C-alpha cells in the first residue's frame, strides 16, 4: 500500500512539474522532425557545420555494440573518407515530449560503403533532444541493430 501511495505521489509530482509525458503539439513535432531530417541529410552530405550545429557539446552516442562515442569522435567517424552513407529514410517515427526533453525514435535501413565494401544495416534508434537557451539540441543517440 505504501508503494502504491508513493507511486501516486510521484506521478502527481511529475505532472505538476510538467515532466509527465504529454502529447506534443503538432507544430513542435513538425519542427523536430524537420530538424532531425536536416541532420540526416547533413550526415549523408558530410556537412560538418550542419552536423555539429544540431549537437550539444556534451553529446554521447551508444552504438550497436555498446561503445560510447563523444561528439568529436562521432563526427570524426561520420566524416571519415572511408565511409559513404547513401540517403536513407526513417520509418515508425515518433516524438515524445517531457518538458524540455524530446525523445525521437524510429527505424532506419542504412546502406553505403566502408573502405570500398558495401554495407547494409537495419536498426531502431532513440535520439534525445534537450531545449537549451531556446534551441533544441541532440544530446544522446542510442541504436539497436535489428535482424
Model pLDDT for residues 71-127, shown as the tens digit of each residue: 999 999 999 999 999 999 999 999 999 999 999 999 999 999 999 999 999 999 999
Domains of the chain: residue spans and CATH: 22-145 (3.10.450.50)
- Global pTM value: 0.82
Model pLDDT for residues 1-48, shown as the tens digit of each residue: 444 444 444 345 444 455 555 677 999 999 999 999 999 999 999 999
Cα separation values, 21 from 9, 10, 30, 77, Å: 16, 13, 18, 34
Cell digits of residue 36: 532531425
Amino acid at each position: 500500500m505504501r508503494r502504491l501511495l508513493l507511486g501516486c505521489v510521484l506521478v502527481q509530482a511529475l505532472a505538476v512539474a510538467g515532466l509527465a509525458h504529454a502529447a506534443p503539439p503538432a507544430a513542435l513535432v513538425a519542427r523536430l522532425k524537420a530538424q532531425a531530417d536536416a541532420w540526416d541529410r547533413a550526415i549523408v552530405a558530410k556537412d560538418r557545420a550542419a552536423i555539429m550545429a544540431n549537437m550539444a557539446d556534451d553529446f554521447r552516442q551508444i552504438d550497436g555494440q555498446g561503445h560510447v562515442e563523444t561528439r568529436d569522435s562521432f563526427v570524426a567517424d561520420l566524416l571519415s573518407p572511408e565511409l559513404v552513407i547513401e540517403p536513407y529514410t526513417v520509418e515508425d517515427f515518433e516524438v515524445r515530449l517531457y518538458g524540455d526533453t524530446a525523445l525521437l525514435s524510429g527505424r532506419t535501413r542504412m546502406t553505403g560503403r566502408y573502405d570500398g565494401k558495401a554495407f547494409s544495416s537495419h536498426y531502431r534508434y532513440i535520439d534525445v533532444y534537450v531545449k537549451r537557451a531556446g534551441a533544441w539540441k541532440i544530446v544522446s543517440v542510442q541504436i539497436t541493430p535489428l535482424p
